[in-house]
Amino acid sequence: MNSKHIVAIGGGGFGRSLGSLEIEKYIISLINNKRPKICFIPTASGDSSLYKLNFYRAFSKLDCITSHIDFFSRTENLEKIVFNQDIIYVGGGNTKSMLAVWKEWNLHNILQKAYEKGIVMSGVSAGAICWFEKGVTDSFARELNIIDCLGIVDGIACPHFDEEKEREPYVNDVIQREIIESCICIEGNCALHIKNDSEYSSIDFGNGKKCFKVTMENNNLKKEIL
């Protein structure tokens, strides 16, 4: 049986600067193929041309076979493209808009099947939280919100936990008010690797960056390092 992998990146990576491509190297290390096939889905950024260019620069350097999926020009046969990959990488941007477009094209169901087949699912920010049941998003102009995501893995996730000052107070508030029971919080330059739905490891590609699970215990907030 194929192992299942999700690599959810809290912030950073090739979208900001190519740098040493540490997290990108980690993602492709999960594949045995010498030249893994990786497909970029930049829907959350409105199929940004610059973002696509950075993707091709980064993963071509790592000797991958690269492709991408557009939704704002003519769209190819999605099942054929997705099921032919070793890795899917989802870019950051507006999570709510991204998920709405995906559902219109049935990509959410295609990605679920691809995950079950053992195709590695990865991404940053919107591309990190989309795999969970729910995510904390700044898709709305004035405030953070919790929205329904794909539900491929359990839990509620928040990216950019240390990078955007409103994130931690928001998470603490919604837990204290019992709107949610817990939240998986991923710092910038860190990723959460989930293997087979239940094995969690924190991948630091910055400087001491971490993933946390925030819960309430005995009326106090508990911040547990994953």
pLDDT for the residue numbered 152 = 96
Alpha carbon 153 to its chain centroid, in Å, reads 12
- The CA distance from 116 to 152, in Å, is 9
Residue 139 vs residue 59, higher pLDDT: 59
User: Taking residues 94-101, what's their average pLDDT?
Assistant: 96
Q: Which of 77-81, 139-143, 202-206 has the lowest mean pLDDT?
A: 139-143
- The CA distance from 77 to 75, in Å, is 7
Arithmetic mean of pLDDT over the chain: 94
User: Taking residues 217-223, what's their average pLDDT?
Assistant: 90
Residues annotated catalytic, as ranges: 125, 160
205, 26 Cβ separation under 8 angstroms: yes
Q: What percent of the chain has pLDDT over 70?
A: 100
pLDDT for the residue numbered 18 = 81
What range defines the domain where residue 169 resides? 5-225
Given a cut of 80, whether residue 141 has pLDDT beyond it is no
154, 199 Cβ separation under 8 angstroms: no
CATH of the domain at 153: 3.40.50.880
130, 149 Cβ separation under 8 angstroms: yes
- The CA distance from 160 to 168, in Å, is 9
DSSP E strands in the chain: the ranges are: 5-9, 37-41, 65-68, 87-90, 120-124, 132-137, 145-148, 153-158, 182-186, 190-195, 199-204, 211-217, 220-225
Phi, psi of 214 (to 5 degrees): -105, 130
Q: Name the nearest CA neighbour of 6 among 138, 148, 129.
A: 129
Given a cut of 90, whether residue 46 has pLDDT beyond it is yes
pLDDT for the residue numbered 15 = 82
Q: How confident is the model at residue 178 (pLDDT cuts 50, 70, 90)?
A: very high
Given a cut of 90, whether residue 66 has pLDDT beyond it is yes
pLDDT for the residue numbered 2 = 82
Given a cut of 90, whether residue 47 has pLDDT beyond it is yes
**What is the CA angle 9-94-74, rounded to 5?**
105
pLDDT for the residue numbered 134 = 97
220, 191 Cβ separation under 8 angstroms: no
Number of domains in the chain: 1
User: Taking residues 47-66, what's their average pLDDT?
Assistant: 96
User: Taking residues 79-105, what's their average pLDDT?
Assistant: 97
Taking each helix axis as running N to C, give the angle between helix 49-61 and helix 22-29, from 0 to 180 degrees, rounded to the nearest 10: 60
Q: How confident is the model at residue 213 (pLDDT cuts 50, 70, 90)?
A: very high
- The CA distance from 129 to 50, in Å, is 22
DSSP character at residue 44: G
